[in-house]
Amino acid sequence: MQGDGTAALAAAHRYWSLLEDGLNLIAAAAIFFLMFVGVFQIIGRSVFDTAIYGYIDYMEQASALFAFLGIAYAQRVGAHIRMDLLLRGFSMRFLWSMELFCVLIALIVITVLVDSTFQNFLRAWQLGDSTIDIKLPVWPTKLLVPFVLSVLWVRLVLQSLDYARLIRHPFAKPIAVPIIETIEAQAQNEIEEALGREGKEKRS
């Protein structure tokens, strides 16, 4: 039976994941939309000798959507690049301890970045900073950065709590952190995924 702390952590993880999933979907939609606009811009300039007014300014500001909105989701699922080859073979408690150490370092860095990026937003807001060509206000994009980093900050806190729990109970089921797979398990999953794709292609 789960204790109150574990149940609370699981609930917080579940509800916060909904926000992360939503932001990641917005990032994916932004990529699709920007690709569509880019194709329209190329066709317009090549065929109709016309272009979207302020295209570069819009692209520069919109690129922040897919550049930042998915970072908390990637942290949750462990999609960031990891260098854990040297940790293979150690005990689970040691592995969880190293994961906690890395997350705490990231938490300190993100805390500093949240403050500095918010100050950057405030300066843009107070000075009325804008893009060069069409004078598009840049404060919405600069406000987006500390917001997304704050979402990541909460994710790191949840992971810190879960790693601390896993250090006490090394073989408990992870809740708010990505599962560490062995090289053999990763290879097996890739083989099964490849075989699954081949089977679907043959049936089709």
Q: What is the pLDDT of residues 109-152, one digit of tens each?
A: 999 999 999 999 899 888 877 777 777 788 888 899 999 999 99
pLDDT at 173 over 60: yes
Q: Taking phi first (over 0 means left), then psi (-120 to 50 degrees means alpha), and beta for anything else, what does residue 135 get?
A: left
Predicted TM-score of the model (pTM): 0.80
How confident is the model at residue 3, as a pLDDT?
57
Whether pLDDT at 90 is above 60: yes
Q: Supply the pLDDT for residue 190.
A: 61
Q: Are 58 and 52 within 8 A, CB to CB?
A: yes
What is the reported pLDDT for 87? 60
Q: Work out the percent of the chain whose per-residue pLDDT is above 70.
A: 80
pLDDT tens string 52-62: 777 777 787 88
The per-residue pLDDT for 96 is 84
Does position 14 have pLDDT exceeding 50, yes or no? yes
Residue spans of the domains in the chain: they are 4-203
Contact of 125 with 157, CB cutoff 8 Å: no
Nearest residue to 74 (alpha-carbon basis) of 120, 106, 32, 119: 106
Q: Mean per-residue pLDDT for 153-180?
A: 88
Check whether 172 has a pLDDT greater than 50.
yes
Mean pLDDT computed over every residue of the chain: 81
